[in-house]
Amino acid sequence: MISNGNKDFEQIKIDPNEMKILLFTSGTTGNSKAVMLSHKNICANINSVAKVVKVDNSTSVLSILPIHHTYECTLGFLLVLYGGGNIAYCDGLRYISQNIQEYKPTFILCVPLLLENVYKKIIKSLKSSLNKKYTENENKIMEKLPFFMKMIVKKKIKKSLGGRIKTFIVGAAAIKPELVESYFSFGIKVLQGYGLTECSPLVAGNNDFYYKAASCGMPIPGVTYKIDNPNEKGIGEIIVKGENVMLGYYEDEENTKKVLKDGWFHTGDLGYIDEDEFLYISGRSKNMILTKNGENIYPEEIEQILNDNELITESLVTGTSNGKDDIQVNAKIFPNIEEIKKFLGDKIPSKEDITRVLSDVVKKANQKLPNFKHIKSFKVMDEDFERTTTNKIKRYGKNIEDEKK
């Protein structure tokens, strides 16, 4: 039948509203939920993204993230097939660099951590090959170079990434705006987006036409969002409407009713929208720390400041009672031992050395924050945080057990 060109599949009737895929949320703040998505949900998202991000038969994708998560499933798999591109699958995290050279992708979906690691390698290479006067400010290297050298450096950077790379699409966590701008100066687009499993996943994104480095972008075609109950700074819960919004949680009517209200999906994420409809994420409502005086503290903001320091690999900020009927900010810090060793003049650091160095980092971080957001105490982690399958730090369980004691 196949050899005769059987096309019975063309006659199959599809109910666009029937549940056809069951995907699980990442489980960053609690147990994962099973999200029911229909043909309409997935196809609406693919069609919307295809209108603002070019994917065609010249597109070659290196798939790195787990395909059982909606970010990779919809954007790194189904969207690419829809556009006629091709997909190569990574052999494992330790083989990313090798696979990039082998498959020469034009397009990679990733999390910010990967981009940061690639950027560090690029900067290290540039510092070893360029005059120091060009590399004193890492974020301004391309601006300082003469035109002919810019062309040479761009070519070298692209060659280190396979030679054909055009775009990184980034999600799952915030990315530093200066990192986005640096990649753009290398001739490589970094398009940050915002999405959730419940939205199939993309809600907003920077695209081939419009972008702001500090933003998650604009709503994709067919999707509407607004801020529910904003405070005086315009920050409130992001709620979303569109054909991409899920049917509900599998066999969980209670939680479905909590998030689907009057046609709007309540994301649980906090953010604000600027005058051009670009979306900015402040944090998760579940993570927000509320002080006695009614001040809102977003852990993600403080973590970003800490993580910007090269002596820190990752951090986790929480709030606990200070014994005086109020909340204090605490941080857990996983240090970058190699960078601390360099900082100490290649001395192997003791626990006391690490604590002393990080104490100075925390003091500098506090100088950038108002008093009510100051980190009052911190703990040095001996091992990395427990993570979800998309490499997000879990904000429950083992990572915060001692906070509850």
For residue 318, the domain's CATH number is 3.30.300.30
Q: Which of 238, 257, 285 is the last residue in one of the domains?
A: 285
Q: 30 falls in which pLDDT band (50, 70, 90)?
A: low
Residues 233 and 326 in one domain: no
Residues 160 and 277 in one domain: yes
Encode pLDDT of 338-361 as tens digits.
Answer: 999 999 998 899 999 999 999 999
What pLDDT shows up at residue 396? 66
What pLDDT shows up at residue 220? 95
Distance of alpha carbon 316 from alpha carbon 403, whole angstroms? 12
Residues 379 and 272 in one domain: no
Q: Tell me whether the omega of the peptide bond preceding residue 201 falls within 30 degrees of 0, making it cis.
A: yes
In terms of residue numbers, what domain contains 276? Answer: 1-285
Residues 387 and 246 in one domain: no
Residues 182 and 316 in one domain: no
Q: If you average pLDDT over residues 221-238, what whole number do you get?
A: 93
Q: Which of 285, 309, 342 is the last residue in one of the domains?
A: 285
Q: 399 falls in which pLDDT band (50, 70, 90)?
A: low
Residues 70 and 17 in one domain: yes
Distance of alpha carbon 107 from alpha carbon 203, whole angstroms? 20
Residues 274 and 307 in one domain: no
Q: 211 falls in which pLDDT band (50, 70, 90)?
A: confident
Confidence check: pLDDT of 1 > 80: no
Encode pLDDT of 6-17 as tens digits.
Answer: 777 777 888 999
- Of the chain, the percentage scoring pLDDT greater than 70 comes to 93
- The whole-chain average pLDDT of the chain stands at 88
Residues 136 and 179 in one domain: yes
Q: Helix crossing, 112-129 with 147-160: angle to 10°?
A: 130
Q: 186 falls in which pLDDT band (50, 70, 90)?
A: very high
Residues 392 and 255 in one domain: no
Q: Which of 268, 285, 302 is the last residue in one of the domains?
A: 285
Contact 344, 360 (CB under 8 A): no
Q: Domain count for the chain, please give it.
A: 2
Encode pLDDT of 112-140 as tens digits.
Answer: 888 888 988 898 888 888 888 888 887 78
Residues 313 and 281 in one domain: no
Q: Tell me whether the omega of the peptide bond preceding residue 16 falls within 30 degrees of 0, making it cis.
A: no
Distance of alpha carbon 258 from alpha carbon 2, whole angstroms? 48
Residues 24 and 115 in one domain: yes
Residues 98 and 191 in one domain: yes
The CATH number that applies at residue 262 is 3.40.50.12780
What pLDDT shows up at residue 219? 95
Q: Burial of 216 by CB count in 10 Å (0-12 exposed, 13-18 middle, 19+ buried)?
A: buried
The rounded radius of gyration (Å) of the Cα atoms in the chain is 23
pTM over 0.85: no
